[in-house]
Structure 1
Amino acid sequence: MTRPESAGHDYDVVISGASLAGSAAAILLARRGVRVALLERRSDPDAYKVLCTHSITANAYPVLDELGLVPALEKAGAVRNTARWYTRWGWIEPRAAPAGPELPYAYNIRRSVLDPLIRSHAARTPGVDLLLAHQVTGLLREGGRTVGVRASTPRGEREIRARLVVGADGKDSAVAKLAGMPVRRYENTRFGYLAHFRDLPLPDGIGRIWFLEPDMAYAFPNDDGVTVLAVLPDKKRLPAFREDLEGSFLAFLRALPGAPPLDDAERVSKIIGTVDYPLHSRTPTAPGLALVGDAALTGDPLWGVGCGWALQSARWLAEAVAPAAAGRGDLDRALVRYARTHRRRLLGHQRLAADFAKARPFNPLERLMFSAAARDAALARHMHLFASRLIGPLRFLNPAAVARATAVNLRHRGAPARSTR
């Protein structure tokens, strides 16, 4: 057990939730000299999130590298991810430029492998105490700020005091609810189901995403020869879908342009999903408190951004608050810096995702960019950077890119769509 050194605090930081965001934050804070209690409500160190795209977008690769997880992910069989996107104008197929660098990537890896890996990494980090079977039931408050948590444990209730409490406990965050954090919700008018298939042959082993306007689907190859197949139709189709879930799920996949060959693979999981997954964003800070990962912002599952944003937000928090959390600065000012970074980096992405979650067809600007990217290699690479969340909406729709897309489409006016495959 790490010995406390500051009077009045058991730890510098207590984190609720030892999944991706919480474990990453614990590691990065501890490496900066912060004493961390990492609480996990489940007792099994190998517990993992089931409903997930199982994909980490390329924006989070620097965080994985800083955490030292890249060699372990490669050893575990994680698949370097890129994707092809089907549109009514043909396939968008990002490829590296001639004589240019390879496309940025991160990894597809099942959470049953990823979650225990990062949690065990956190537990081995000096300065981190992983406390399993600790469920936060209340917050300790003094003078209008949070100063710790109350947790239920196998030995009864305990209080843990800290300068900073971090909610890394998912979209239904108990910490956020206990603190009364303001939240904005956006309706998602799609539902989703997914299943895992083993030995599913995909062209070049590369993932596929289908933009069917408004329906969506994707195929993401993962470790151990397992591919995640997901469908995200308009909720108008839900009543018929529910009448025969398995039949509807498989029929949807078989009807996709360039459909994955299901009969050549083995389904190795149940069909699971959700019929109501609203997007939300919360104010990510309050006096003595911060939120990371899905607790702060929940993205639309169809974009596969949740894991990447969980890791990034953990890093932004550690960079902003570490000195103050260890007692060497103004914590409130540090939290303002974190909130500002979180808002600047993610708010534009969230607004676009929330608008697209209305299950609408492409708007005119999206039609311009997607159609041009299906016809032009440079714009396909540009699309890859945006889908990987390496550039934001303003850079994606910058005047030069829009002008190029316009010129490309003018040259291809009347040309037939590229064939599906």
Structure 2
Amino acid sequence: MTKPESAESEYDVVISGASIAGSAAAILLARRGARVALLERRSDPSAYKVLCTHSITANAYPVLDELGLVPALEKAGAVRNDARWYTRWGWIEPRPAPTGPGLPYAYNIRRSVLDPLIRSHAAETPGVDLLLGHQVTGLIDEAGRTVGVRASTPQGEREIRARLVVGADGKDSAVAKLAGIPTRQYENARFGYLAHFRDLPLHGGIGQTWFLEPDMAYAFPNDDGVTVLAVLPDKKHLPAFREDLEGSFLSFVRSLPEAPPIDSAERVSKIIGAVNYPLLSRDPTAPGIALIGDAALTGDPLWGVGCGWALQSAQWLATAVAPATTGHADLDTSLAAYARTHRRRLAPHQYLAADYAKGRRFNPMERLMFSAATRDGATARHMHLFASRLISPLQFLNPLALARAASVNLRHRRANASPAR
């Protein structure tokens, strides 16, 4: 429900940003007893993020389930995100083991559907006050810690005090900037453009990703028969690409192996993108402050992990700090626990992504794993778990997995060796 301006302005938590991360955190904290002010700078409850992969990786399925959103997503037409990946050795096509369970999944769904859905779910949650048209302009500081925010609203400036301020306001987080939290930036040597197509058939009817070393592309089927198609070339191609954006985009897609037939599909959006999209990392906490989603860590869009990590970080935060926000635990200790979880779970993934964002070709370890995954079902399933962020880089590159990949490739070379003369 939307709270009137004249109502009490004291909360347990104030969250800046009512998209995926902020709305999820508001729901989870309120269910744990916190009184939450959920601020959204835009006044339109249907507002949504336009530039996005529109995919939620399988690591976030438990969060969707806890939020109670799975039935609503399926009713809205969300597509389970099975996928296959092209490499120079062929296609990696993960399939369930003959006697095993199905592959883990979450969903592809357009943000124009997802954002209003989760925001309305938050607004209907007892204990959450959704405050539209509220933009954070300052922080309230007392004795070296943040105890609330100042916000610009359609009715003028107001102060909102709370035990905890949460920045869920994206990669350009105003909360992080106002708090003086440093940003670590990693160059992205690729640029990206995407467009939406209706009635675009894909091989197997599932998502496709092309590793062209260093160029990339992906096609993700979404709700209502709409497919998000993106290209991420090396920046050395940018000047020529921008001379004829539409022609360059279409030509790039047509040149892909098993290219989607875009000439027979209907393009239902503009071609949009970003020519400079660095990876960002920030400390996820400061005294009285927590950052979640892209405000804490903005990954490389080619991996499609942003939505999943937004949901996970919201859940980690709620689990760690809920008792403290209602006065039943120490807030600083709870924030430290959240920060440890965030770093442990995401920093290794971000390290690898930042390295690959340099625009390099596959390194020897990647060549070993990717090539073996085109030839071996178990390795392909193992790679699916990593791509879904269900296992860590250390688990992905564990000794048994590396030994299996080496054995697979050795057998392949022997089987394809020329007969001795």
User: TM > 0.5 between the two?
Assistant: yes
Distance 1:330 1:351 in 2: 31
Give deviations 1:75-120, integer Å, cap 9, x for gaps: 0000000110000000000000002100000000000000000000
Residue 372 (structure 1) aligned with residue 372 (structure 2): yes
Task: Give 1:312 deviation, angstroms.
Answer: 0.1
Match of 1:172 in 2: 172
The alignment status of 1:243 with 2:243, answered yes or no, reads: yes
Residue 11 of structure 2 corresponds to residue 11 of structure 1: yes
- For normalisation by structure 2, the TM-score amounts to 0.97
- Measure, in 2, the Cα distance between the counterparts of 1:397 and 1:96: 21
The residue type paired with residue 179 of structure 2 is A
Offset of 1:382 from its aligned partner? 0.2
- Following superposition of structure 1 onto structure 2, how do residues 19-418 of structure 1 map, counting pairs within 5 Å? 19-413=19-413
Question: What SS class does the counterpart of residue 99 from structure 1 fall into?
Answer: coil
Give 1:264 shift. Answer: 2.2
Q: C-alpha distance in 2, partners of 1:359/1:258?
A: 23
SS of the aligned residue for 2:413 comes to: coil
Equivalent residue of 1:412, what SS? helix
Letter in 1 for 2:104: P
Amino acid at match of 1:256: L
Aligned residues between the structures: 412
Amino acid at match of 1:181: I
- Give the distance between the partners of 2:154 and 2:265, measured in 1 at CA: 43
The one-letter amino acid paired with 2:255 is A
CA contact under 8 A between 1:201 and 1:264: conserved in structure 2?
Answer: no
Q: Aligned pair in 2 of structure 1 residues 400, 100: CA closer, same or farther (>3 Å)?
A: same
TM, length-normalised to structure 1: 0.97
Aligned equivalents of 2:88, 2:355: Cα separation in 1:
20
Query: Cα deviation per residue 1:152-184 (whole Å; 9 max; x = unaligned)?
Result: 001100000000000000000000000000221
| C-alpha distance in structure 1 between counterparts of 2:9 and 2:169, whole Å | 22
1:393 is aligned with what amino acid? P
What is the identity percentage for the equivalent residue pairs of Structure 1 and Structure 2? 84
Post-superposition CA distance 1:43-71 (Å, at most 9, x none): 00000000000000000000000000000
Give the distance between the partners of 1:9 and 1:123, measured in 2 at CA.
17
Q: What CA distance in whole angstroms lies between the structure 2 residues aligned with 1:207 and 1:112?
A: 19
1:175-203 Cα distance to aligned partner (Å, 9 max, x none):
00000002211000000000000010112
**Cα distance change of structure 1 residues 176 and 415 upon mapping to structure 2, 3 Å threshold:** farther
User: 2:207 and 2:26 mapped to 1: Cα distance?
Assistant: 32
1:385 match: secondary structure: helix
Go from structure 1 to structure 2 and tell me whether the alpha carbon gap of 1:265 and 1:2 turns closer, same or farther (over 3 Å shift). closer
Structure 2 distance, partners of 1:109, 1:43, is 23
Match of 2:419 in 1: none
CA offsets, 1:343-402, max 9 Å, x none?
000000000000000010000000000000000000000000000000010000000000
Runs of 5+ in structure 1 lacking a partner? Answer: 417-421
How far apart are the structure 1 equivalents of 2:390 and 2:325?
29
Read off the aligned partner of 1:166 and give its amino acid letter: V
Q: Contact 1:2 / 1:127 at 8 angstroms: preserved in 2?
A: no
CA contact (8 A) 2:284 2:339 kept: yes
